[in-house]
């Protein structure tokens, strides 16, 4: 080849065969998770009795609805290279608080509003401390996790707070068009946060901050404001999940949602959200949540001892992270 023809195109084009191979890997990379989920789903449908039935599907969706909602906001949090451990405690506190306020005022609406406001406050404190005081997110939210859990126990005197108002239960149990309300709320979250992430400055800036906070600031991104917003919204959605959970359980329980934060983070990581920030997709998170729920559901149907379910969940998470790592490594070389 002559000098000029090589120079003309920067990097010399490779053969069709290598290009096809590159394209193949591109497709595998992009859709690997969905492919895995479809395969998993097909195998379970064929092999596990009752798995592929309408009732079981609805039950599955209902069981992942809380995790699904909060995964949306956790996705933002991780995408901006932050972390939030306090959501489990917020779920518990919000349920208890909602029950207390609803009982005291006799109005479910006021209880829900107060509880959402409390969640917002927890999130705001998290965000402000992390963004303005520059304290590590892990430490900050570990602290608020303890504090908020403490508040849940103190305000409920360590006991489940029952709600007398019947209206409260409809939140968790009513059905619309054949699907329970919590499932609809979760679907709405997926849509809203998917649009927020991909179509708004807020979402794009979240990813930019996760990719490089310093460069984002110098490019005119209001880094602190975005980070506070991320945590604040997460607080509200965690509170919403808490209220719905309390409604399903017919009482606010101070020990609800233990380990919830880790399940949510697992679902996000399964969904390909990078802990290093800057990479996230709503479709990934949806599949991550569904994989978690499906495996859990199938194990219950197969009567696998609950103790072993921990092992399976952990193993799946490890494999997902390894796959992601391999993917990144191939792209880097």
Partner 1 sequence: MTDAPRLEFRHIGKSFPGVRALSDVGFSVRAGSVHGLLGENGAGKSTMMKILGGEYIPDEGEVAIDGRAMDFRKAADAIDAGVAVIHQELQYVPELSVMENLLLGRLPTRFGLVDRRRALAWTRERLDALGVDLDPRAKLKALSIGQRQMVEIVKAILRDAKILALDEPTSSLSHRETEVLFRLVRDLRAQGKAMIYISHRLDEIFELCDAATIFRDGRKVADFDTLEGVTRETLVQRMVGRDIGDIWGYRPREHGDIRLSVKNVSGRAVQQPVSFEVKAGEIVGFFGLVGAGRSEIMRVIYGADRRLTGDVAVDGQPVKPSQIRDAIRHGLVLCPEDRKEDGIIGVRSVSENINISARRNHLVAGLFVNDRVEAKTADGYIDRLRIRTPHRRQEIRLLSGGNQQKAVLSRWLAERDLRVLIVDEPTRGIDVGAKNEIYNVLYELAGRGVAVVMISSELPEVLGVSDRVIAMCRGRIVAQFSRDEANEANVLAAALPEGASATPTPAR
Binding footprint of partner 1 on the chain (CB under 8 A): 3-4, 6-7, 9-14, 18-19, 21-22, 25, 195, 199-201, 204-205, 207-208, 210-212, 214-222, 274, 276-279, 330-331, 333
Smallest distance from partner 1 to CB 261, Å: 25
Smallest distance from partner 1 to CB 11, Å: 4
Select 14 or 146, whichever has its Cβ closest to partner 1.
14
Smallest distance from partner 1 to CB 322, Å: 20
Select 22 or 42, whichever has its Cβ closest to partner 1.
22
Cα–Cα separations (whole angstroms), residue 28 to 22, 34, 256: 10, 10, 39
Would you list the DSSP string of 241-253?
HHHHHHHHHTEE-
Give, rounded to a whole angstrom, the gap between the first and last alpha carbons of the chain: 26
Select 51 or 76, whichever has its Cβ closest to partner 1.
76
Smallest distance from partner 1 to CB 239, Å: 25
Select 132 or 330, whichever has its Cβ closest to partner 1.
330
Select 76 or 260, whichever has its Cβ closest to partner 1.
76
Smallest distance from partner 1 to CB 187, Å: 21
Smallest distance from partner 1 to CB 271, Å: 17
Residue pair 74/268 in contact (Cβ under 8 Å)? The answer is yes
Return d(Cα 235, Cα 141) in angstroms, integer: 11
Residue pair 208/221 in contact (Cβ under 8 Å)? The answer is yes
Select 126 or 274, whichever has its Cβ closest to partner 1.
274
Select 59 or 211, whichever has its Cβ closest to partner 1.
211
User: At 184, which helix (H) or strand (E)?
Assistant: helix 181-199
User: At 176, which helix (H) or strand (E)?
Assistant: strand 175-176
Instruction: Name the pairing type of β-strands 175-176 and 179-180.
Output: antiparallel
Smallest distance from partner 1 to CB 228, Å: 16
Smallest distance from partner 1 to CB 211, Å: 4
Residue pair 49/301 in contact (Cβ under 8 Å)? The answer is yes
Select 36 or 279, whichever has its Cβ closest to partner 1.
279
Would you list the DSSP string of 267-326?
HHHHTT--TTSS---HHHHHHHHHHHHHHHHHHHHTT--HHHHHHHHHHHHHHHHHHHHH
Return d(Cα 26, Cα 12) in angstroms, integer: 20
Select 23 or 311, whichever has its Cβ closest to partner 1.
23
Smallest distance from partner 1 to CB 82, Å: 16
Residue pair 111/99 in contact (Cβ under 8 Å)? The answer is yes
Residue pair 48/296 in contact (Cβ under 8 Å)? The answer is no
Return d(Cα 221, Cα 208) in angstroms, integer: 9
Q: How many CB atoms lie within 10 A of CB 130?
A: 25
């Amino acid at each position: 080849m002559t000098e000029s023809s090589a120079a003309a195109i920067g990097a010399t084009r490779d053969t069709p065969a290598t290009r096809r191979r590159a394209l193949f890997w591109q497709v595998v990379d992009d859709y690997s998770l969905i492919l895995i989920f479809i395969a998993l789903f097909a195998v379970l449908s064929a092999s596990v009795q009752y798995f592929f039935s309408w009732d079981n599907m609805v039950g599955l969706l209902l069981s992942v609805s809380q995790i699904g909602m909060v995964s949306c906001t956790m996705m933002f949090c991780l995408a901006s290279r932050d972390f939030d451990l306090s959501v489990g405690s917020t779920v518990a506190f919000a349920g208890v608080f909602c029950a207390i306020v609803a009982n005291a005022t006799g109005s479910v609406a006021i209880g829900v509003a107060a509880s959402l406001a409390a969640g917002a406050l927890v999130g705001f404190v998290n965000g402000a401390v992390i963004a303005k005081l520059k304290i590590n997110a892990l430490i900050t939210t570990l602290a608020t996790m303890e504090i908020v859990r403490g508040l849940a126990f103190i305000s409920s005197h360590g006991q489940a707070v029952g709600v007398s108002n019947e209206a409260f239960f409809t939140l968790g149990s009513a059905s619309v068009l054949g699907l329970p309300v919590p499932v609809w709320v979760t679907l709405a979250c997926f849509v809203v946060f998917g649009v927020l992430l991909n179509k708004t400055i807020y979402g794009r800036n979240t990813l930019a901050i996760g990719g490089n906070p310093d460069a984002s600031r110098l490019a005119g991104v209001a880094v602190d404001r975005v980070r506070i917003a991320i945590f604040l919204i997460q607080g509200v959605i965690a509170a919403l999940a808490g209220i719905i959970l309390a409604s399903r359980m017919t009482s606010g329980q101070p020990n609800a949602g233990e380990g919830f934060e880790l399940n949510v983070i697992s679902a996000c990581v399964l969904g390909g959200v990078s802990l290093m920030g800057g990479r996230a997709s709503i479709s990934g998170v949806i599949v991550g949540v569904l994989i978690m729920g499906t495996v859990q559901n199938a194990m219950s149907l197969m009567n696998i001892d609950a103790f072993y379910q921990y092992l399976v969940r952990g193993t799946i998470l490890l494999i997902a992270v390894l796959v992601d790592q391999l993917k990144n490594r191939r792209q880097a070389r």
